[in-house]
Amino acid sequence: MKIVFFGTPDFAVPTLSSLLSHPEFEVVGVVTQPDKRRGRGNKLMPSPIKDVALNHSLPVFGPRRIKKDAETIAKLREAEADVFVVVAYGQILSQEILDIPSLACVNVHGSILPKYRGAAPIQRCLFDGEKETGITTMLMDAGMDTGAMLLKSFAGISLLDNADSLGDRLADVGADLLVETLILLRDGKVDAVVQDDAEATYAPMIKAADFVLDWSQSARSLHNQVRGFFPDCTTTFRGNSLKVIATVPVGPEYWLQMPPELRVLEREWPVLDRLSGVNGEVVRVVKGFGAIVQTGDGLLLLREVQLAGKKVQSGVDFANGTRLAAGEVFGGVEVKG
């Protein structure tokens, strides 16, 4: 089976690597987003997928607007591929491109469709507090993740999963599911199931406003925001910006979901349960854990943070290094009185 692979980020790497390791597949070309300037030196850097492709001496195309790039489209025709495989490519393919392969265009999508169509399914399912997600392979059409579904694989979501950890797990799931999908497709043993648009939900692109923490929200909502939009959520601390990298909501409903090293917080609960403060206020600094913060509903432990211009540090090191005390407020000023 001759394949042209479309993909860009780390999420797509396991799938391309899996195709390259299977002798029944021949990857004849790779399409990815153009090189971007990154890092302190502002140097042009290739996408993770381009790195893999070059290491395997594969032809690579990086059009800025593939739908308008006649040269790339001509090269895709010349490849005479059976299948186009698309994994987090980052551009919408025109019907002209979708019609090129002889067998199908197959997409590996990071949700259980028709839920979370769109650009950020992994981030949005965490933000919404879902307990389960997965991967769907589907036949592509000109819509936004609206094609007929082929196979699905489900994955649970734990309390401490974030966009990176869940994304890494789903990337491996997607790689395996695609191989199974292509073999069944080749043999005519998979049925395409049309999506029910009435059950569809959407996962829009993440915007800057999504990163700002509002301490009037519940502990669970804030935790979901921090892990969904990892590692970019922000608040203010003593008048300066502070990134909140990892959190844990604290309370009896969460003990069984915590690993042993965090569940020992249960011993502190008789004291914590009696405390209260304004939204964003540190109600207690627990030795060995760090700041416990009052939210609009419930308490939130700051596990990892990052001061502007500094490295990520544990909540313990942050509390010790800043001499953090109960009564200070994130996203506001110190409580007087």
pLDDT at residue 159, as a whole number: 97
pLDDT at residue 38, as a whole number: 80
Q: How confident is the model at residue 41 (pLDDT cuts 50, 70, 90)?
A: confident
Over range 117-134, report the average pLDDT.
97
Residue 77 predicted with pLDDT over 50: yes
Closest to 24 in 3D by CA, of 190, 191, 178: 178
User: What mean pLDDT is reported for the chain?
Assistant: 95
Name the residue type at position 292: I
Alpha-helical runs (H) found in the chain: 13-21, 48-55, 70-79, 95-98, 121-127, 163-186, 219-228, 260-263, 269-272, 315-322
For residue range 226-259, list pLDDT tens digits in order. Answer: 999 999 999 999 999 999 999 999 999 999 999 9
Closest to 108 in 3D by CA, of 62, 52, 172, 35: 172
Q: Which residues contact 33 (CB under 8 A, 6 or more apart)?
A: 8, 47, 62, 89, 90, 91
Over range 40-53, report the average pLDDT.
91
Residue 337 predicted with pLDDT over 80: no
Q: Could you give the CA distance from residue 4 to residue 240 in angstroms, rounded to a whole number?
A: 48
Q: What is the pTM of this model?
A: 0.94
Residue 221 predicted with pLDDT over 70: yes
Backbone angles phi, psi at 252, to 5 degrees: -55, -30
pLDDT at residue 42, as a whole number: 80
Q: Which residues contact 136 (CB under 8 A, 6 or more apart)?
A: 108, 109, 111, 112, 113, 149, 150, 151, 152
For residue range 281-324, list pLDDT tens digits in order. Answer: 999 999 999 999 999 999 999 999 999 999 999 999 999 999 99
pLDDT at residue 332, as a whole number: 54
